[in-house]
Each structure stands twice: as C-alpha cells, then as structure tokens.
Chains A and B, each alone.
Chain A
C-alpha cells in the first residue's frame, strides 16, 4: 500500500463534492421532520431525481436545467407521499417505504435507454486569481455552483427555521400539531409544503450524483445515500449546521475508502465499501441524544 499516493488537497476537495448530494437530501428531510413528518422515501426521491435530472440534462444539454428537472421530479413524487399521509392518513413509515420501492422501479423504467449515455456536467468555478491559489484555491474556489448552492442552503434553512415567522409556524406544527391547529395554522398545508421542499432537495441531491459525482446513469445508483441522509438528520439532532458536519463526515468516509482502494490497501474492496454503512450505524449509536420534534411521525386528524 502506498499512502503517499493520496493527495490531501484533492481528498478534501473531493470530500466536499461527495458530501453535496447527502447535504441536499439531509437538509430537505430535516425541514420535513421539523414539520413533524417522517418521510422514509428519501432514497426513492433521490433516485427519481437522479434520473429526471439526467434526462432533462441530456435532452436540454444544460446541467442546471437538469437540476431544475430533478427538483420538480422529486417534489412531484414526494407529493404522492404527501397526499397519502396528510389526506388519506396512511402510516408514514409504511408510505415512506412504499415511496422508496416505487421510486426505484420508476427510475429504472425512466432510465431505460439512458445507460451509458454521457450527460452534461456543470463547469467548475474559475475565478482568475483565487482559483489558482495553492491549497485554498482547489478546496474553496474550485467547485461547481451546486456545491456553493448546498452551502447557501444550510444558511437559508437555518435562517428559515430560527429567524423567520414561517419557520416558527413550521416548528409549531412539528412540535404539537393539535396546538398549532388550535392556533389557526393550516397543519396539512404547512406539511405538504415541507414535504414538497424535501422532495425537491432529495431530487437535486440525486441529480448531483448522476450529473456530477458519477457522472452517468446506472440503475440503483444512489446505493443507500438516501438512507444515510436520514441518518444524518438524526446525527444532526435536527439542526442545519450539524447536518453540514454530518454530510462532510460521510463524504469523508466515502472518499477516504475510495482513496484507500486506489492506493491498494491489503483489504478486499467489498470490506472497504462497507465502511460508510458501518460508520452510519456507529454514528447512530453514539449520537442518539438529540430530541426529535414532538409530533414526528404522528398522524394528524382534525376532529370536529
């Protein structure tokens, strides 16, 4: 094994790229859960976003239109979950699982004919002086716009949840839906909006995989990223800043494991590629201290 083959600057730069899809999906789910809804369909929405984004990207030739298409696809799919759980009062765990199973089938169906096709990739930022700086240039100024959009989303979600009136309402709905209803807030409407936002974010995260990180379409390509995003929300104790930390942690594990594979570590690839999942379990064990929103996963039925 040759550890000197691993370039720390590139490692950190690719960590940030690997963390971006997780960050989008986790932030979306975080908002959904703060509104008191547990949507376990992140994996399904992500993979649907991956193929929707890829199709729109290939057909239009623009990666950014692709991300838009992915957001639309993810949001539409999430609204199936929204209607079922909010209007038809179905069990959220079961419906979320159904969404994942359905999304995997749907994406495979849509993706026929897109295997092996090359999609458009968004250009990396190239600021004259800054991007050429030795270490900082590559790590801080050397990414595509979506990476910065992800970071901006952390700030935006934080601001929304803690500094805005809409966020206050959203949290009220999530903490105690009966009280929020009594105060005259539209519980179902707030939740549907949160669910659609979560779907759009998961979709964008998926498209980041198919358009930037991999970049091509293969069936089942998310490989559990949606479930890891769910774990990040728990790890983050439902706080946006810690979601960023969590995404970086998992991005780091993934990238490091790939780098070790490339460096020829004396461990079969199969065992190395278990590591992100094992780290997820470990983190869940160590970090189950956060307090979940009060109404998380409970069915809201307006009576009288």
Chain B
C-alpha cells in the first residue's frame, strides 16, 4: 500500500527536482504520442529541443527565443502574484488584447506625427488598457463577490470580439484597400518596437520582462506586500489577523497582472506582430498559466520556464515544417507538461510512504528533520 504523508516543511530539493521530473515525463509521454502519430519520437524530441538552439539554422531561431519568451514571462510573472494569493486571473489573454488595442489606438490617433514620444505613450496606454480590463473582474469580486475566474475568462471572449470589430472597423488601415487590419506599427518610426541589439531578438518587451521579474522577486521576498500575498494564499485566516484587507489584495494582484499582460500586448503589436489583426492573439495569455506553474510561481523560475516554453513553440514550428507534426500535437505537449507538473508536485509537500501508514512515528521523524 502506497500512501502520502504530509511533510512538516515543503522539501526544497523537490521544489527544484519536480519541474525537471515533469519535463522528463512529458518528453517520454510526448515521444509516445509522436510515435502513435507515426513519427520517429527521438527525432521529434531532438527537433523540438535541440534544433532551435544548436541546429544548422540556430542563428535564425535563437533570437526568436527571446521574442516568444518575453510576453510569456511578462504575463506569467503577473499571474503568479495572484495565484500565490489564491486570486485566479485566467483572463490574461483578454487583458493582452486590450493592452494592444488601447496602445495601438492612441498611436494610430497621432499618425503620422514624427516624434519618439509616441512609443512611450503607447506603452503607457497599453498597460492602462490591460489594467482597466482586469479591474472589471477585480471590482466585481470586491463589490459583489463575483467569481473572478469566470468573469475574467468571459472577458477574453468579449475582448476577442472587440479585436475583430476594431480590425474591421475603427482601427482599420484606411490605405489598406479594404483589407482587415491596422496600419503597420513596427514600420512607423514613432511607434516601432525595434530589435535593440541586432541578432539577439532583444526588444523593449524583453527589457520589460526582465524588470518585471526583478520587481516581482523583490516584492515577494523583501517587501511586506509580498509577504501578505503569500500569507493570504497559504493561510487566509492568519492573513486576516495580520491586517491584510482581502479586497485590496484582489485589486492589487489583478491590477498588476492586467497591466503586465497589457504591456505584453502593446510590445507585441508594435514589434513582432506589427499590426492589429483579427487573429492577433495567439494564446500567450493561456500558455502563460502553464509557464507560471512550471516556474513554481517564483519569478526566477518563471524566467526559465518562459524560455523553455518558448523553445517548445519554436521547436514545434520546426517539427511542423520538417516532420509534418500537426500543430495541435504541440499544444497537447504543452498541456501534458502542466499535467505532469501538477502530478509530481505532490512530492514537494508530501513524502511517499510504503506499507500501512501510522500517524505517530511519522510525526516524530518529521519533527526530527
């Protein structure tokens, strides 16, 4: 009989080991899936994880790594703050869209002015757009005790509809011969979010992501606010006694994550994506949830997890073109990673015990540790 026994203190070793374990398990299960699809599993795994970094065309793929990781890290860092406090913002995809829309709208309103001040203004408005969109679930939760999970998610669908309405209507390029989509923002000097160091993929979004990671780390580890966030998640009752106002925390966590998602959106639309189109959002807001958990809700972990997830995106694209692996297989691969992660996470808080469980001796060994 195998059973679990709660550890007195979460294991530090396991906290580092479990994500690696999950990645390994996903590679095995993913390989099995690729084999079932009639592809060589070893070759597929090699293409996904090796080719983008060290393959023949790595000089082209390596910069992509930062381009793809930046929005994931930016969004996931914000989400993790809320997840730690038990506040579930799963509508980051919507906040990402609204950030891009608000920022782009402000920029396009000033077209064709030629001043470099437009870009910072757009970034500010992007963050504000995401922030305000996140305030809807936040304020509804505080005022009416409405479930923020459902509201934030519903708003993703609303934002997607608004995105297509804008791409077809108000923000459509007047010189685009009637095609949907806005003017190209990355080709207009005043609004472009260019590659800062040639050949690295480094753009302002990457800089923002790094700053966000450092900011979140300091907040969580060194600031009383971070302590309150962690306390609310781990011991809600104790948090009340410590003077934490739950409503304020909801507004704060949703606000920060919304603003960061909005930032990711505006950096994307002015840089890699270039313009507002109907299919502008590609699911970064949802993948960021996986990134947040893969990084164990820790800023530094999220940084690494974002890079890994970006790798599977790029590797997945290569596998699609080289091996004809269906795109859906890659999103399943990412979904599997989250499952395995959640499955092995039990080892951090519990230890495996073989044989019949007895409560008292276990307590003694836990105390001795």
Interface check B25, CB cutoff 8 A: no
* Residue of chain B at shortest CB distance from A93: B88
Residues of A within 8 A of B358 (CB): 304
B365 to chain A, nearest CB (A): 15
Contact B290 A101, beta carbon cutoff 8 Å: yes
Contact B155 A281, beta carbon cutoff 8 Å: yes
Q: How many residues on B have C-beta within 8 angstroms of the other chain's C-beta atoms?
A: 51
- Which of B88, B144, B332 has the most chain A CB atoms closer than 10 A to its own CB? B332
Contact A273 B342, beta carbon cutoff 8 Å: no
Instruction: Give A89 to B339 CA distance when docked, in angstroms.
Output: 12
Interface check B346, CB cutoff 8 A: yes
Instruction: Give A94 to B149 CA distance when docked, in angstroms.
Output: 11
Which residue of B158, B286, B333 is within 8 Å of A277 (Cβ)? B158
Contact B326 A280, beta carbon cutoff 8 Å: no
Contact A109 B150, beta carbon cutoff 8 Å: no
Contact B326 A284, beta carbon cutoff 8 Å: no
Within 97-154 of A, Cβ neighbours of B (below 8 Å) are at 97-98, 101-106, 108-109, 112
Q: How many residues on A have C-beta within 8 angstroms of the other chain's C-beta atoms?
A: 43
Interface check A294, CB cutoff 8 A: no
Which residue of B151, B157, B168, B359 is within 8 Å of A224 (Cβ)? B157
Contact A84 B6, beta carbon cutoff 8 Å: no
Instruction: Give A285 to B142 CA distance when docked, in angstroms.
Output: 11
Which residue of A89, A227, A271 is within 8 Å of B150 (Cβ)? A227
Contact A112 B151, beta carbon cutoff 8 Å: no
Within 319-369 of B, Cβ neighbours of A (below 8 Å) are at 326-336, 338-339, 342-343, 345-346, 349-350, 357-359
Contact B343 A88, beta carbon cutoff 8 Å: yes
Instruction: Give A89 to B329 CA distance when docked, in angstroms.
Output: 27
Interface check A195, CB cutoff 8 A: no
Chain B contact residues, majority secondary structure: helix
Residues of A within 8 A of B158 (CB): 274, 277-278
Q: Given A102-B332, A112-B328, does the pair A274, B157 have CB atoms closer than 8 Å? A: yes
Within 254-304 of A, Cβ neighbours of B (below 8 Å) are at 268, 270-271, 273-274, 277-278, 280-281, 284-285, 288, 301, 303-304
Per-residue CB contact flags for chain B residues 139-150 toward chain A (1 = under 8 Å, else 0) read 010001111011
Interface check B164, CB cutoff 8 A: yes
Contact A301 B328, beta carbon cutoff 8 Å: no
Instruction: Give A178 to B314 CA distance when docked, in angstroms.
Output: 47
Which residue of A40, A98, A268, A285 is within 8 Å of B339 (Cβ)? A98
* Residue of chain B at shortest CB distance from A231: B150
Q: Given A104-B331, A274-B161, A288-B146, does the pair A268, B169 have CB atoms closer than 8 Å? A: yes
Which residue of B4, B165, B333 is within 8 Å of A271 (Cβ)? B165
Residues of B within 8 A of A304 (CB): 357-359
Contact B4 A273, beta carbon cutoff 8 Å: no
* Residue of chain A at shortest CB distance from B286: A101
Residues of A within 8 A of B155 (CB): 277, 281
B142 to chain A, nearest CB (A): 12
Contact A102 B345, beta carbon cutoff 8 Å: no
Within 205-221 of A, Cβ neighbours of B (below 8 Å) are at 219
Interface check B280, CB cutoff 8 A: no
Interface check A80, CB cutoff 8 A: yes
Contact B346 A234, beta carbon cutoff 8 Å: no
Instruction: Give A268 to B180 CA distance when docked, in angstroms.
Output: 14
Contact B146 A90, beta carbon cutoff 8 Å: no
* Residue of chain B at shortest CB distance from A284: B146
Instruction: Give A283 to B214 CA distance when docked, in angstroms.
Output: 40
Interface check B239, CB cutoff 8 A: no
Q: Given A84-B339, A285-B144, does the pair A109, B326 have CB atoms closer than 8 Å? A: yes
A51 to chain B, nearest CB (A): 11
Interface check B67, CB cutoff 8 A: no
Residues of B within 8 A of A224 (CB): 153-154, 157
Instruction: Give A294 to B162 CA distance when docked, in angstroms.
Output: 38
Interface check A95, CB cutoff 8 A: yes
Interface check B118, CB cutoff 8 A: no
Contact A90 B345, beta carbon cutoff 8 Å: yes
Q: Given A102-B338, A277-B157, A303-B359, does the pair A84, B343 have CB atoms closer than 8 Å? A: yes
Which residue of B83, B327, B330, B332 is within 8 Å of A106 (Cβ)? B332
B211 to chain A, nearest CB (A): 27
Residues of B within 8 A of A101 (CB): 286, 289-290, 331, 334-335, 338
Query: 17 extra interchain contacts, Cβ-Cβ under 8 A, other than A94-B83, A108-B327, A285-B140?
Result: A88-B343, A88-B346, A95-B342, A101-B334, A102-B335, A103-B335, A105-B329, A106-B332, A230-B150, A270-B162, A271-B161, A271-B165, A277-B155, A278-B154, A284-B147, A285-B146, A288-B144
Supply 21 A–B pairs (Cβ within 8 Å), ascending by A. Answer: A40-B149, A84-B343, A89-B4, A90-B342, A90-B345, A98-B342, A101-B289, A101-B338, A102-B336, A102-B338, A105-B329, A105-B333, A109-B328, A224-B154, A268-B169, A270-B162, A270-B168, A277-B157, A288-B144, A288-B146, A301-B4
* A positions within 8 Å CB-CB of B: 40, 80, 84, 88-91, 93-95, 97-98, 101-106, 108-109, 112, 219, 223-224, 227, 230-231, 234, 268, 270-271, 273-274, 277-278, 280-281, 284-285, 288, 301, 303-304
